[in-house]
Structure 1
Amino acid sequence: MRRAVFIEEQGIPEAEEWDAADETCLHILAEDDTGPLGTARLIARGAVAKIGRVAVLPQARGTGLGRKIMDHALNAARTAGFAEAMLESQVSVIGFYEGLGFVAEGPEYDDGSGILHRVMRRPLP
């Protein structure tokens, strides 16, 4: 899934996509009877839950699946006792995350993928 979206579709270098966090984080997978459609991961960073690698296959975009994945990730973070969620959003989808209560902070930056990002945060009441 991540290979299809990030490496093949967006052209992110393979070496930038995979890291040691994949072995210890919570992976979220959305699927239907045709197979996997979306994913995300949740990494513990102290009292903060870092949500990342949020991806939805093209055929499932615009269906609300991304929101469902994020709702699941936020609920998992709340249940685990995290006080805050953060993510590093691609600039082109900041509006999506704002709709989920995240607020952008700091300047835009290239995370090494060639795509501009911004840090976003939201409390987990």
Structure 2
Amino acid sequence: MKITLATTEAERQACFDVRDAVFTIEQGITDPPDIDEYDADALHYLAQDETGVAGTARIVAKGETAKIGRVAVLKSHRGIGLGAQIMRAILDDAKARGFEFAALESQVHAIAFYERLGFEADGPDYDDGSGIMHRMMQAKL
């Protein structure tokens, strides 16, 4: 599996296509919209293998914190550790870029996944507007 920074318009569109497949089509999230005002300045990461695009995630810079979001793996590539591989690549890159912390809004069912990567839950569960319960999580890089 190759995980790279999406630098071309085609690569960024591939990231958006994965997000659309997972969040809009599979999870039925239409509000808030998947594409938002942070996408223009975010760092987008694309996971690909010999069969094609497999997953994505992004970082939005918030001072010394790398706000990780839109972590998505296509159904065809789940269960092989790709989500963790994407997260490790992003965390390594965030640290190399000088971020001190990482934060994310985890869907509640995925909290244990992020805890295994060194994140700690912070605060109560909340609905982010999508109808899916979330909880803030943080990690020191």
TM-score by length of 1: 0.96
Q: Aligned-pair RMSD on alpha carbons?
A: 0.9
Q: 1:72 is matched with which residue?
A: 89
Residues 3-25 of structure 1 show CA distances to partners (whole Å, capped at 9, x for unaligned) of 00000000000652110111111
Residues 34-73 of structure 1 show CA distances to partners (whole Å, capped at 9, x for unaligned) of 2110000011001100000000011111101101100111
Q: 1:85 is matched with which residue?
A: 102
In the alignment, residue 4 of structure 1 is paired with which amino acid?
Answer: A
Give me the identity figure in percent: 56
1:1-125 matched pairs, under 5 angstroms? 1-13=18-30, 15-124=32-141
Give the whole-Å Cα distance in 2 for the aligned partners of 1:14 and 1:34.
31
Residues 5/23 of structure 1: CA separation in 2 closer, same or farther (3 Å cut): same
In the alignment, residue 100 of structure 2 is paired with which amino acid?
Answer: A
Q: Which runs of 5+ in 2 are unaligned?
A: 1-17
SS in 2 for 1:17: coil
Residues 32 and 130 in structure 2, CA contact (< 8 A), matched pair in contact too: no
Q: Which runs of 5+ in 1 are unaligned?
A: none
TM-score by length of 2: 0.86
Q: Give every structure 1 segment of 4 or more consecutive aligned residues whose post-TM-superposition deviation is greater than 2 Å.
A: none
SS in 1 for 2:85: helix
Give the whole-Å Cα distance in 2 for the aligned partners of 1:117 and 1:7.
17
Give the whole-Å Cα distance in 1 for the aligned partners of 2:126 and 2:31.
19
Aligned length: 124
